Amino acid sequence: MIDVSFKIETRGLTLAFGDRVIQRDVALRIRPGSIFALMGGSGCGKSTVMKGLFGLLRPIAGTVLIDGESYWDASDDRRIEINRRYGVLFQSAALWSSLTVAENVALPLKLFTRQKPAAIADLVRLKLALVGMEAAADLMPSELSGGMRKRAGLARALALDPEVLFFDEPSAGLDPITSRRLDDLILELRGGLGTTIVLVSHELPSLFAIADDGAFLDAETQTVIASGSPTELRDHCAHPTVQAFMHRERTSESRTPIMQSNGGDADGS
Ligand SMILES: Nc1ncnc2c1ncn2[C@@H]1O[C@H](COP(=O)(O)OP(=O)(O)OP(=O)(O)O)[C@@H](O)[C@H]1O
């Protein structure tokens, strides 16, 4: 029987590059509308597992279920349909440098829908408004700060109203205040649109602030060694690798409150 209590579920998922296995027997249960973090030390395979979830890397074993349907057993056409329900934001935001912000956001709509140009322009304005980037519509990616680039990438990832958003290191390279604003935006998206969000991150302040569930991947054993929210893992998981990760640089990583909010980004956006 199909179990749809989870938006995405993996069973025995094993990912490899050539004959080098990166993670094996990974079991994840990602609830609809949750913000689920893939955690773990550098190089343990977080991005690799995420690629296995959204279709960029075919597992050598195991199953990925989306709404109870097996992704990797589906036909190529069916996988393309499923992928239209996904939004993906890579670490670099990966904007097309020769297109304006608005053209970048319009691209998936032009490629994957039959909407008329005027309707696409309306949707682009809407998506840019969602991430507070209306004023930057005509700028080129090279004219954007790091925080603005992330938000433009997010607007593009939202173009097709995804049910699941995949983020690779959303706050990497951002200053703490810009990073916090991006976290707030992610929380708003989940709250407003009910989007399920899967993210890879080692930024502890961001993980504690937004993720409500997660799995900890271990490089040594090459599998999941703990499951739960970052806070639960910090407070209740005795595994030394998890504890070392959760308590590293504790004082410098602790979040200081923003004393004043002027509605703009610290990065000048
Ligand atoms: N395309 C690839 N071909 C071969 N090996 C790869 C490829 N991509 C990643 N790897 C290797 O797989 C391992 C896991 O990499 P991955 O990027 O998934 O880890 P990660 O946990 O996301 O790391 P980080 O936190 O540093 O970004 C690393 O040893 C990496 O060198």
Pair (66, 136) in one structural domain: no
* Domain-located, residue 255: no
Q: Same domain, yes or no, for 174 and 139?
A: no
The last residue of one of the domains, among 121, 136, 160, is: 160
Ligand 1 proximal residues by C-beta, below 6 Å: 17, 22, 40, 42-48, 200, 202
**In the listed set 112, 143, 160, which residue is the last one of a domain according to the structure?**
160
**Mean residue pLDDT across the chain:** 87
Q: In this structure, are 71 and 125 located in the same domain?
A: no
Residue 12 within any structural domain of the chain: yes
Specify the pTM.
0.86
Helix (H) or strand (E) holding 256: none
Q: Residues 6 or more apart from 105 whose CB is under 8 A from it?
A: 124, 127, 128, 152, 155, 156, 159
In terms of Cα–Cα distance, which of 212, 235, 213 is closest to 224? 213
Q: How far apart are CA 117 and CA 149, in angstroms?
A: 24
Out of 26, 46, 202, mutate this one to test ligand 1's pocket (max ligand atoms within 8 Å of CB): namely 46
Do both 139 and 151 map to the same domain? yes
Residues 108 and 29 in one domain: no
Q: Are residues 50 and 136 in the same domain?
A: no
Both 27 and 154 in one domain: the answer is: no
More confident: 119 or 250: 119
Question: Is 118 within a domain?
Answer: yes
* 12 and 44 belong to one structural domain: yes
In the chain, the number of structural domains is: 2
> Which of 21, 24, 39, 47 has most ligand 1 atoms within 8 Å of its beta carbon, as the pocket-test mutant?
47
Helices 117-130, 146-157: axis angle to 10 degrees equals: 130
* Mean per-residue pLDDT, 118-136: 90
154-168: per-residue pLDDT in tens? 889 888 889 999 998
- Of 13, 15, 17, the residue with max ligand 1 atoms within 8 A of its CB, to mutate for a pocket test, comes to 17
Asked if residue 72 and residue 20 are part of one domain, the reply reads yes
Report pLDDT digits (tens) over 189-218: 888 888 999 999 888 888 999 999 999 999
Same domain, 12 and 143: no
Return the percentage of the chain with pLDDT > 70, whole number. Answer: 90
Note down the domain range covering 197: 8-85+162-250
Does residue 168 share a domain with residue 146?
no
Token duo for residue 192: 């407003």
Say whether pLDDT at 267 is over 60. no
| Residues 170-194: tens digit of each pLDDT | 777 777 887 888 888 889 888 888 8
Question: For the segment 31-84, what is each residue's pLDDT rounded down to a tens digit?
Answer: 999 999 999 998 999 999 999 999 899 999 999 999 999 999 999 999 999 998
**CATH code for the domain in which residue 180 is found:** 3.40.50.300
Mean pLDDT over residues 226-252, rounded? 86
Q: Which atom of ligand 1 is nearest to the CA of 40?
A: 21
CA of 78 to the centre of ligand 1 (A): 28
On the question of pLDDT at 266 being above 60, the answer is: no
- Residues 239 and 200 grouped into a single domain: yes
The closest of 61, 66, 69, 51 to 8, measured between CA atoms, is: 66
